[in-house]
Structure 1
Amino acid sequence: MTALETQGLAAKRAARVLAVAGAAEKNAALEAIAQALCLHQDAILAENQKDLDAARAGGMKQSLLDRLALSPQRIAGIVEGVRQVAALPDPVGEVTRMTRRPNGLIIGKRRVPLGVIGIIYEARPNVTVDAAALCLKSGNAVILRGGKEAFRSNQAFVSVMRSALETAGLPGDCVALVEDTSRKSANELMGLTGYLDVLIPRGGAGLIRAVVQNAKVPVIETGVGVCHVYVDAEADLDMGADIIYNAKTSRPSVCNAAECLLVHEAVAEAFLPKAKALLDEKHVELRGCPRTAEILGPCVVPAAAEDWDTEYGDYILAVRVVKDADEAIAFINDHGSGHSEAIVTANYFTAQKFLDEVDAAAVYVNASTRFTDGFEFGLGAEIGISTQKMHARGPMGLEELTSSKYIVYGTGQIRT
C-alpha cells in the first residue's frame, strides 16, 4: 500500500467510529481542539513564520502572503469558529421526512455522514482547522492535502488536533494530513476511490479545474469568485462607495472580494469620483470601459476583454458603466462565476428584480459581497463555497456534509 492508501484505510476505520459518536462526544472533542489550539498558539505561529519566510523568499505577492499569515487574532478567530461549530445542532440522525404507505410501511429519511472527505486546498492554513471541525461535527473523517507554502502551519495544526482527539476519546485518524505536497500526491488523492467518498477542491481556478477534470472520486466543486457590485440609479452613493471599498479592499485575495464594479449611467459622473477617492487609499488599479475613462481620466487602464472575467485576487478592479439594471443583470449572468453578487439601490422593485434574475449562490441588496462566509452566515465556518447547483450551493456547512439514508419500518410486509 502507498502512504496515502494507508492514510485512507485508517481514515475509513476512524469514520466508522465517528459516524456513531454522539453529539456530546463530538462537541467534547471540538472543545478539546479549541483549548489545544490556544495552548499551542506560540508553536503554531512559529511554524507559520517559517512558511511566511520561505514564501517571501520565493517571491509570493502580498495578497497571497495575507492568506498565508496567521496571528494571535486570526488564531482566536479560528478557535471561535471551532466553538461555534460545536454549538450548532448536530445534523447526523435528523429525520427529514417520515410517511406511512397504504401497505403500512413507514418510510423515513435520515441524515448520515458522507464518510471520508478529501480536501485539496492552497495556502490557507485556517482551512485546515475549519474543515476538520466541520467534518468532525458532521461525523466525517477528513484527509487534508494543503499546498506546500503552508505545509509547516498545516502540520502544526493537524498535530495539535490529532492529539486533542485522542485525549477526548476519538481516533486521531479522524483528521489526517497528506505529507507529500507534490502534484503526484494530488493526483493520487483524486483517484483514491476505495477510501474517499467525496473530494472538495478549495482554491484558485486552476486547482478547481484540475480536480473537476481529473478526479475519479465524486467532487463537490467550489467556485472561483468573479463577484460584482452594481450601483443603481437610485442608490445611496455614499453607501455604494463604502460597499465597493469594503468588497474590494478588506481582503482582496479571497473569493468573496468584488472584482467588478458596474455603475448606472445616470449616477456615474457623481459616483465614480466618490468611489475612486476611497479606493485610492489602497492604491486600487482601475481597469475601465471608455465611459469610465472619460469620467476619471488617464488613471484608468483601458479594460481588455479578459478583464471582465478575471478573478484578480489583488488590488485591481474592473469598472463598467451600464445603461440600466437590465444591462447590469445580463452582464453579471454572462461574466459572473455564480458566487456572490450585490446591488446598491433604494428601489424595492429593482432590488427584487436583481434578486430574482441574478444567477448566483448569494445575492445581496445594499451589503458587501464579503459576507459570503460560513462564519458570517452563522455556520461556524465553511468547508468551501459551492457554485454548483447539485446537493450544495453557497457556503457549505454541516448539513451540506451529510447524505441521507432511507429507514423503513414494517410489520411483516412482503412485496407481491
Structure 2
Amino acid sequence: MTPTSLDVERIRKDFPILSRELPGGRPLVYLDSGNSSQKPAAVVETIREHLAMHYSNVGRAMHVLGAESTEAYEGARDKVAAFVGAPSRDEVIFTKNASEALNLVAYSFGQHLWRGTADADPRFTLGPGDEIVISEMEHHSNIVPWQLLAQRTGATLRWFGVTDEGRLDLSGLPELITERTKIVSIAHQSNVLGTVNPVADVLARVREVGALMMLDASQSVPHHPVNVAELGVDFVAFTGHKMLGPSGIGVLWGRAELLDAMPPFLGGGEMIEAVWMDHSTYAPIPHKFEAGTPPIVEAIGLGAAVDYLQAIGMEAVEAHERSLTAYALEALREVPGLRLIGPDSLELRGGTLAFTLEGIHPHDVGQILDDEFGIAVRVGHHCARPLHLRFGIPATTRASFYLYNTTGEIDALVRGLLHVQKVFG
C-alpha cells in the first residue's frame, strides 16, 4: 500500500465504535484522537483473548500460563522497540502513561539521590545554579514534573517562548540553553498547535553545552514515522492510548548508558537483583524501572496496536493525515470569525487544529456540535494552560484527526460550526 492509497473505508470497518449510532439517530463523527484514539477490533480481541485464555503474572510463575504471559508481554516490548527504531529492546521501559515516563526521568535528577554515594553521576546531579529548559507550549505532563524538580533541588526552570504563528521561538537559543543547562524537555509535536518542533536545531545547542534532551512524543509517535536513533535525543516518552492501544500503558525510551546510570524511580518486586534488610541491588534495565506487577495486558494490547499500524504503514498514516489537514485548513477558512491557534500552513505541523469562534465560548461550541451533530471534539485548555495564557484566551475548540477520519467528517464539522454561529447570532 503506497502512502497515497490508504483505504479509509476499509480501515473504518476495523473500528466497531465508528459505526455506532448516537441517541437521536446521529452518526458518530470522532474528531478527538489527540485526546485518545479509538481501538480497532484486533486490539480489543487481543486483550480479550489474553485475559480469557493466557493470563498470568509475568517473570515469576513457573507454569505454562506464566510462560505464555511473559512471552506475550516481552514480545510487546520487542514490537515497540522495532516500531520506534530503538537500538536495543532493553531501552524500552513500560510505564502506565507518558506522564509517568516524564516523571521517571525528572526524578532521576537531584543531589538528594546521590548524597553520600561514591558513584554520583554528574549528568544527574542538580542543584542551585543549574537550569532546566522546557517550552511554553508544553502539556502539563511536561511542565509540572520539572517544576517539582526545580522546587526539590533549587535549580532554575526556564522556557522557550512561542511565536504568534505558534512556532517555538528560537531567537534566544544560545542565551536560553547554556553551560548551566542540565536537561531540555520539549514536545515533539504540540497537542494544541499541531506544531512539529525543530528537534535538530535544539539538539545541536544541547550537545554544545553538554546537556541532555528529552522529547514528549505522545502526539508524534501515533501519527508519523519516528525513529529514536535518528532523532538523536536522550529520552522519548509516549503513550499507548493515543496510538490505538489501551489506556494504562506508556513508554519511556532512553539511551541504555543513561538508563543504566539512573537510580530507580519506584521500588518493589521484580526491579531488584537481591534484597537485604539494610540495602538492595537492582535488576538490569528495563526491569529496574518496572516495579511490581506491570500493566501486562495493556502492554500486549499496545503490541497489537503496533502490529496494526505497521501493517498499514506509518508513511501512509502520515500522508493521509497531511491530506486531511490541508483540506481542513482550507475548509475552516469558510467559517467567519474563526481564529486558528497555530500554524496555518502544512509546514512542520500535524493534524491537530485548535481554534476559537468570535464571541462564543468553546464549551458552548463543543456541546452544540455533540448534541446536534454527533461531532466529538475537545474543548478547554487541553492540559496546556500556559499556552492559552500566552495567546490571551481561556480555552479553544480542538479537532484532531487520525487514520480513520475522512474529508466528509471535516465537512460535517464546518456545517456544525456554521450552525453554532447561527444559534448565537
TM-score range for the pair, normalised by the shorter chain length: under 0.3
By relative contact order (CA 8 Å, sep 6+), the higher-ranking structure is 2
Which structure carries more helix by proportion? Answer: 1
What is the TM-score of this pair, normalised by structure 1? 0.26
> Greater Rg, structure 1 or structure 2?
1
Please give the TM-score of this superposition, normalised by the length of structure 2. Answer: 0.26
